[in-house]
Amino acid sequence: MENNQLLHTSVVLLAAAVIAVPIFKRFNLGSILGYLAAGVVVGPYFLGFIEDPAAVLDFAEIGVVLLLFVLGLELNPKSLWQMRKKIIGLGGAQLLLCGLALGGLAALALSLDFKLSFLIGITLALSSTAFAVQLLKERSMLNQPLGRIGFSILLMQDLAVIPVLLGVQAMAPNANGHIAPWWLGLVAVLITLAIGTYLLNPLLRIVAKYGNSEVMTAAALLIVLGAALGFEYAGLSMPMGAFIAGIMLANSSFRHQLEADIEPFKGLLLGLFFITIGTSINLNLLFADPWILLAGALLLLLVKTSVIGSIIAYTGQSKIHSFRLGLMLAQGGEFAFVVMAQALSLHILDKQSTEQITIVVGLSMALNAPLLMLFESLIKRKGKEKKVDYSNVKFETNKVIIAGFGRFGQATGRLLAAKGMQFTALDKDPEHIEFLKKVGHKIYFGDATRYDLLRKAGAKQASVLLIAIDNISDSLHLAQMAKRKFPHLTIIARAHNRTHALSLMDLNVDVVIREVWESSLTAAEHTLLALGYAPAHAERMIDIFQRHDEASLLEQLEHKDDMPALMALAKENRKQMHDLFMADRNVYASEEAKVTDQ
Per-residue confidence (pLDDT) for residue 595, from 0 to 100: 40
pLDDT exceeds cutoff 80 at 246: yes
Between β-strands 423-427 and 444-445, what pairing exists: parallel, antiparallel or unpaired? parallel
Q: What is the pLDDT of residue 102?
A: 92
**pLDDT higher for 68 or 592?**
68
pLDDT reported for residue 594: 46
Map out the domains of the chain as residue ranges. 2-380, 390-515, 516-598
- State the Cα–Cα distance between residues 575 and 564, nearest whole angstrom: 17
Segment (H or E) for 151: helix 145-159
Q: What was the pLDDT predicted at 329?
A: 93
d(CA 229, CA 181): 17
CB 79 within 8 Å of CB 287: no
Label residue 146 exposed, middle or buried (CB < 10 Å: 0-12, 13-18, 19+). Answer: buried
* Percent of the chain residues past pLDDT 90, beyond the cut: 9
Return d(Cα 383, Cα 409) in angstroms, integer.
23
Is the pLDDT at 587 greater than 70? The verdict is: no
- What is the pLDDT confidence band of residue 570, given thresholds at 50, 70 and 90? low
186 vs 232, residue with greater confidence: 232
Give the pLDDT band (50/70/90) at residue 179: low
Say how many CA atoms lie within 13 Å of 2 toward its Cβ.
1
CA distance 456 to 576: 49
User: Could you check whether 2-380 and 390-515 share the same CATH topology?
Assistant: no
Rg (CA), the chain: 30
Q: Look at residue 504 in the predicted model and tell me its pLDDT.
A: 87
Mean pLDDT of 24-44: 80
The pLDDT score that the predictor gives to residue 334 is 74
Q: What mean pLDDT do residues 264-283 have?
A: 79
pLDDT at 596: 44
Q: What is the pLDDT of residue 464?
A: 92
Q: Which long-range contacts (C-beta less than 8 Å, at least 24 apart) are formed by 80-87? A: 80/247, 83/148, 83/152, 83/155, 86/148, 86/149, 86/152, 86/153, 87/152, 87/153, 87/155, 87/156, 87/159
CATH number of 390-515: 3.40.50.720
In this predicted model, what pLDDT tens digit does every residue of 322-359 receive, in sequence order?
899 999 999 998 778 777 777 776 788 888 888 888 88
Beta-bridge partner residues of 511: 492
Residue 71 CA to residue 82 CA, distance in Å, equals: 16
Element holding 463 (H helix, E strand): none
Instruction: State how far the Cα of 123 lies from the Cα of 349, in Å rounded to an integer.
Output: 14
Q: Which pLDDT belongs to residue 294?
A: 92
Average pLDDT over residues 310-321: 85
Read out DSSP for 279-306? Answer: HT--HHHHHHSHHHHHHHHHHHHHHHHH
The count of other CB atoms within 10 Å of the CB of residue 290 is 13
Rounded average pLDDT over 542-549? 79
pTM of the model: 0.57
CA dihedral 144, 146, 147, 153 (to 10 degrees): 150
**Average pLDDT rounded to a whole number, residues 438-452:** 71
pLDDT at position 3: 56
Closest by CA to 361, choosing from 150, 135, 156, 127, is 127
Residue 593 confidence (pLDDT): 47
Residue 598 has pLDDT above 50, yes or no: no
405-437 pLDDT tens trace: 887 888 888 888 888 788 888 887 766 666 566
Task: Average the pLDDT over 176-193 and give the result.
Answer: 66
Q: Rounded CA gap, 576 and 122, in Å?
A: 71
Q: Are strands 511-514 and 423-427 parallel, antiparallel or unpaired?
A: unpaired
**Between the ranges 70-74, 95-99, 416-420, where is the mean pLDDT highest?**
95-99
Query: Helix 238-248 and helix 182-198: axis angle, to 10°?
Result: 30
Q: State the virtual CA torsion across 419, 424, 429, 430 in degrees, nearest 10.
A: 100
Q: Which helix (H) or strand (E) holds 492?
A: strand 490-495
Let me know: does 526 contact 502? Beta carbons within 8 Å: no
Looking at domain 2-380, its CATH architecture is: Up-down Bundle (1.20)
